[in-house]
Amino acid sequence: MCSVGDLPEIDMKEAHRSLKPKDYECLDCGRRFKGIGENVKCISCRSGNVRRLRLNPHQYHTQAPAGTTSGAS
């Protein structure tokens, strides 16, 4: 009789946390996007030169710095 052994123990909370999309910014083209996994690549230019952002959901899109206004003076 053939046996494959015991099943590996999987921490489902950790697995769920690692598969949650995270915010990234491409350091080559500047695009911000969400990614999953270990080898994240930019969705625009396919560069692997990206950094993970630590933003809250309201800061996802680029905003003007506080105290500035848009339009002509």
pTM to 2 decimal places: 0.55
% of the chain exceeding 90 in pLDDT:
42
pLDDT, greater one: 70 or 21: 21
The number of folded domains in the chain is 1
DSSP assignment, residue 43? T
pLDDT at 31 over 80: yes
Check which CATH number belongs to the domain holding 24 and give it: 2.20.28
The verdict on residue 61 lying in a domain is no
The verdict on residue 25 lying in a domain is yes
pLDDT at 49 over 70: yes
The verdict on residue 1 lying in a domain is no
Contacts 24+ apart (CB under 8 A), 31-39: 32/60, 32/61, 32/62
Instruction: Say how far apart CA 29 and CA 51 lie, in whole Å.
Output: 12
The verdict on residue 3 lying in a domain is no
Instruction: Say how far apart CA 42 and CA 1 lie, in whole Å.
Output: 49
The verdict on residue 44 lying in a domain is yes
pLDDT at 17 over 80: no
